[in-house]
Structure 1
Amino acid sequence: MTTAQPFACVLDARAKLGESPVWSVAEQALHWVDIKSRALHRFDPATGADTAWTLPEEIGCVGLRKGGGFIAGLRSGLWTLDAEAKPLALLAANPEDTAASRFNDGRADPMGRYLAGTLDEPKAGGKAHLYRFDRRGLTALADGLLTSNGLAFSPDGRILYHSDTPTFTVYRYRYDPATGAATDREVFLRFQPSGDDRGRPDGAAVDSEGCYWTALYEGGRVQRHAPDGTLLSTHPVPARCPTMVAFGGPDLRTLYLTTASAGRPAEELERFPQSGGVFALRVEVPGLPEPLFDPAV
């Protein structure tokens, strides 16, 4: 294991809860959300410009949609949005109690289905789920969760990674790209509330070598793990709460990272004044193009 260069801030956004970065190859731009501010952002690294659109509800995750626009997980359900974040249609209502549940992490699978999980806000009852959405509707893939997170696929699409953040655990499933079935769940990684292994596994991405990059909330770092779980490298973050990574740039060798600032102690924010910013790191191994959500699948 190596401790490599740290992330550098590329957008001092001061987001409350930055999340769900997704790189558009077509636009050469990074889309990301600030959940607590109910905002979808578009960051252009070439100019440094960041455009934000406010939504009527908290937006937990966003994906790129085939034909343009987005799919987004809002508190009320999964919606399509136009290119300027205007809600167009409700695809699937949140089947849980929206007073205590909202959609959180999401990602399209290699065939264009959209996987998205929920967050159980009391974080005590294990009422959150991981869902798959396709033209047949919403199907639960996992239950008994507190905060569904960490979705990522192996390069061949046959392994699905998924975390339950408050339990410090990342799971691995066999995934059938033809059917969208997730089976044979097993523990892939487990972290701790304190010590050298501290941090809660939040959002993630897989690179072209099949290695899993995970942002460790309250751990102040991002880690890269081999497909067998071996820790390969650790990358410090000048923010206590990294939330999710995404590969971008013309060569997909820039690893972008969102972070959070909401609810953090004043002394922590004094030490890490760029908390809530978007950070970036140049890496040797490129990522994979982000699959597009396809409503026809």
Structure 2
Amino acid sequence: MSLTVALDVRAELGECPLWSVEEQALYFVDIKGRALHRFVLATGAHRTFAMPEEIGCIGLRKGGGFIAGFRSGLWLLDADGNCTQKLADNPEDQRTSRFNDGRTDPVGRFLAGTIDEPKDGGKAHLYRYDSRGLETLAAGLLTSNGVAFSPDGRALYHSDTPTFTVWRYAYDPATGQATDKTLFVRLQPTKTDRGRPDGAAVDAEGCYWTALFDGGRIQRYSPEGRLLAEYPVPARCPTMVCFGGPDLKTLYVTSARTGCSEDELRIYPHSGSLFAMPVEVPGLPEYKFDFSA
């Protein structure tokens, strides 16, 4: 199995790929390019929706449209990408903080984390949003990333990218509480390998897939945290993975061009593109945000 270009979009900072089972379409964002993309593999149709500010993450919404994390806060979007309602402000200093990675939980709550752009004070957080408002699940972070759930919804995975660390929590779908934080994976950087855990997804066997930003590859870990496999990506900075296709047996990977040197872009000319490869174990369908959760 190897990754090939599925869509040569060359985003500045592609992120948050999300498969819609109903539409058989893939959505993803370009954070720096301030865009939401929709791609239909069967027809090759590609549509871009301009966003009013940097958009870090999206979740499918029950009844249609999306929930999205921006620099300013969490918003509802309609099916055409228009902002229709602000749900919550970003409670941090928006000059140096924006929403980054996010995912909907089994009940319909939205978990979204922020990035501390100066990365000098651990000011980022992981939040949970539901009908009660915005609540903190984790603090003291540099870049909140890698939110994913086990197949039964009772384990929450979450990474802090600059610390090369993925954590695992016991998660209670009934209450949305995350407890019993334990170390899941800690990567060991070297002078020549600065790959660090970015966006992630879990497959039907409960294995955790993560994109290694600045590492040029993706990895698959067992539920116990054992490295099972890794696959090179034709980009230095893969950003996030998701499962799609009619049987959820296609792995999609977004990537970035931002921060790549001219030499690196000559070596990896498709940086920023959307990549894909077939996999044997299917993924899990995405949960949908429920405003009443």
Pick the TM interval, shorter chain: over 0.9
- How far apart in 1 are the matches of 2:193 and 2:186? 9
2:81 is aligned with 1:85:
yes
SS of equivalent to 1:98: coil
1:208 deviates by 0.3
TM-score (structure 1 length as normaliser):
0.97
- How far apart in 2 are the matches of 1:34 and 1:180? 29
Code of the aligned partner of 2:44 = G
Q: What residue number does 2:204 align with?
A: 208
Match of 1:190 among 186, 190, 209: 186
Q: What residue number does 1:43 align with?
A: 39
1:196 deviates by 8.3
Match of 1:165 among 144, 161, 168: 161
1:142 deviates by 0.3
Q: What residue number does 2:127 align with?
A: 131
Q: Would you say the 8 A contact 1:159–1:175 is kept in 2?
A: yes
Q: Would you say the 8 A contact 1:155–1:210 is kept in 2?
A: yes
For residues 169-221 of structure 1, what are the alpha-carbon distances to aligned partners after superposition, in whole Å with 9 as ceiling and x for unaligned? 00000000000000111110011332687411000000000000000001100
- How far apart in 1 are the matches of 2:245 and 2:2? 18
2:12 is aligned with 1:12:
no
SS of equivalent to 1:62: strand
Q: Would you say the 8 A contact 1:191–1:198 is kept in 2?
A: no
For residues 47-88 of structure 1, what are the alpha-carbon distances to aligned partners after superposition, in whole Å with 9 as ceiling and x for unaligned? 122111111110000110000000000110000000010000
SS of equivalent to 1:166: helix
1:124 deviates by 1.2
- How far apart in 2 are the matches of 1:287 and 1:263? 30
RMSD: 1.0
1:250 deviates by 0.3
SS of equivalent to 1:71: strand
2:290 is aligned with 1:272:
no
- How far apart in 1 are the matches of 2:5 and 2:285? 23
- How far apart in 1 are the matches of 2:99 and 2:168? 21
Code of the aligned partner of 1:76 = S
1:275 deviates by 0.3
- How far apart in 2 are the matches of 1:196 and 1:186? 28
SS of equivalent to 1:112: coil
Match of 2:278 among 275, 282, 295: 282
Code of the aligned partner of 2:156 = L
Match of 1:107 among 99, 103, 112: 103
Structure 2 residue ranges without an equivalent (≥5): none
- How far apart in 2 are the matches of 1:198 and 1:97? 28
- How far apart in 2 are the matches of 1:49 and 1:260? 21
Identical residues among aligned pairs (%): 68
Q: Would you say the 8 A contact 1:41–1:52 is kept in 2?
A: yes
- How far apart in 1 are the matches of 2:116 and 2:21? 33
- How far apart in 2 are the matches of 1:116 and 1:287? 21
1:157 deviates by 0.3
Code of the aligned partner of 1:113 = R
SS of equivalent to 2:264: helix
SS of equivalent to 2:17: strand
- How far apart in 1 are the matches of 2:2 and 2:115? 30
- How far apart in 2 are the matches of 1:79 and 1:19? 17
